[in-house]
Homo-oligomer: A and B are copies of this chain.
Amino acid sequence: MKAEIIAVGTELLLGQILNSNAQYLSQELASIGIDVYFQTVVGDNVNRLSHAITVASERSDLLIFTGGLGPTQDDLTKDAVAAVLGRSLHIDRIAMDNVDRFFQGRGTPMTENNRRQALVIDGGTPLPNETGLAVGNAIAENGKFYVLLPGPPSEMKPMYEKQAKPWIMQHVLTHEEPLYSKMLKFAGIGESGLETKLLDLVENQSDPTVAPYAKESEVTIRISTKARTEREAMEKLDKLEAEIGSRLPNHLYASEDVPIEKTIVDMMTERGLTLSAAESCTGGLLMQSITSIPGSATVFLGGIVCYSNAMKEKLLNVPHELLEGDDAPGAVSAETAKVLAEQVRMIADTDFGLSITGVAGPGYSERKPVGLVYIGISRRGGDTAVYELNLKGNRDTIRLRSAKTVLYHLWKQLKAEQTR
């Protein structure tokens, strides 16, 4: 079963709106085991729309349209699909009553073009619109399936959920087993490093399937299987997850789609541990990423952004001799990272103190190269670890990778303490 999602609307081609409908429908179809092979966006133009329908009919079995069901002359989806199928359109009585009631309720006269919203294709199943006026439509012909949904997400989603999905389950998915998936999240390893470790699984394993996903600054894979029952599926997925985890014990941090900050907040909450941070070049990025997690307030107590040397001295007691002078290590140094992590931990009275100091660029600082970053992790009653990073990229990338790297090392330390 090959599906294709066709979004109709010039506003998408102008970049005025994001095609979030395609994402929603892709997720929904994947969750019932239907593979989407193509997504297409085409404007409100009858020739190009007809071309897109013809191309899709040849390569796909299930065509799901969003948009172009409204009242204006630009709303062409029904006309174009009907023309390609060689069918006519007629007014659906129930949909027309819905339109009439809407204008009566408003007390405004209905303009004639609103009748278009009640048109359906001959021989198709009307899909009622509970949150708007444009009726949807579902048609089966010669083993191909056409589902027409409105464009506004507030109309499209309920229509998909309540009308289109049951129709698809009944007419399209007559013999298939549902698909079950798990997301595995990794830190401290790149996409290519991950693939090298898992190459045999990616290449040889057909059930469950293993698929890498590039997310910005995070490495993710999805493992999926079709099965008759959820229990049967989870047995297969858990077994594969255990195999992957045994190959990458210091990198696999979650088996659901969460950022590492969430895993850290959960681990620390469970063990009653607290955290603070001192940031120089990242300027608050680390703290904002931790505090973006709901419930982080019990773990993260606060911290200091010490952008200037004066602030490092005044608020974090970094000795002046460390920061300035011909032979001083400077603000961007292992020594300063160590003091920052230890001091913020003591000032905030937390179990862990994190620090980041470096050159995010553009432009050198202290005659040190862009991308040189030192991170520190100080532990109450323990040692302070300091790492030197040599990062590549622009200012945003260097800041983001600095924050993600200190989180990775914190996670590793929490994990090591757990297993002790």
Quick one: CB contact mask for A148-164 with B, threshold 8 Å, 1 for yes? Answer: 00011110001000000
* Contact B23 A19, beta carbon cutoff 8 Å: yes
Let me know if A26 and B38 touch, CB within 8 A. Answer: no
Q: What distance in Å separates the Cβ of A26 from its nearest Cβ neighbour in chain B?
A: 3
For A215, list chain B residues within 8 Å (CB): 16-17
Chain B residue numbers with a CB within 8 Å of A195 are 71-73, 113
Q: Does A191 contact B (CB under 8 A)?
A: yes
Contacts of A310 in B (CB 8 A): 301, 349
When A191-B72, A302-B308 are in contact, do A292 and B399 touch as well, CB less than 8 Å? Answer: yes
- Cβ-closest chain B residue relative to A55: B55
| Residue-wise interface mask of A (255-296) relative to B, using a CB-CB cutoff of 8 A (1 in contact, 0 not) | 000000000000000000000010100111111101110101
For A349, the chain B residues whose CB sits under 8 A away are 310
Q: Is A202's CB within 8 Å of the partner chain B?
A: yes
Rounded to whole Å, the gap between the CB of A17 and the closest CB of chain B is 6
CB neighbours of A51 from chain B (8 A): 59
Specify the main secondary structure of chain A where it touches its partner. mixed
Contacts known (A72-B195, A305-B305); A14 close to B41, Cβ less than 8 A: no
Residues of B within 8 A of A55 (CB): 55
The docked-state distance in angstroms from the alpha carbon of A86 to that of B214 is 29
**Cα distance A283–B291 in the bound complex, in angstroms:** 6
- Please, which residue of chain B has its CB at the minimum distance from the CB of A306? B302
A251 at interface by CB-CB < 8 Å:
no
Q: Please pick, from B19, B284, B302, B394, the residue contacting A285 in the complex, using a CB distance under 8 A.
A: B284
Assess whether A292 is in contact with B48, with CB atoms less than 8 Å apart.
no
Answer yes or no: A384 CB below 8 A from chain B CBs: no
Given A192-B72, A307-B301, A13:B40 Cβ within 8 A: no
A27 at interface by CB-CB < 8 Å = yes
Known: A39-B40, A300-B283. A16 touches B214 (CB 8 A): yes
Query: CA–CA, A202 to B114, complex, Å?
Result: 17
Residues 19 to 35 of chain A near chain B (Cβ within 8 Å): 19-20, 22-28, 30, 35
Of the candidates B14, B38, B290, B305, the one whose C-beta lies within 8 Å of that of A302 is B305
Assembly CA distance A314 to B13 (angstroms): 52
Q: Does residue A193 face the partner (Cβ distance < 8 Å to B)?
A: yes
Contacts of A303 in B (CB 8 A): 284, 304-305
Judged by a CB distance under 8 angstroms, whether A249 is at the interface is no
Q: Give every chain B residue within 8 A of A46 (Cβ-Cβ).
A: none
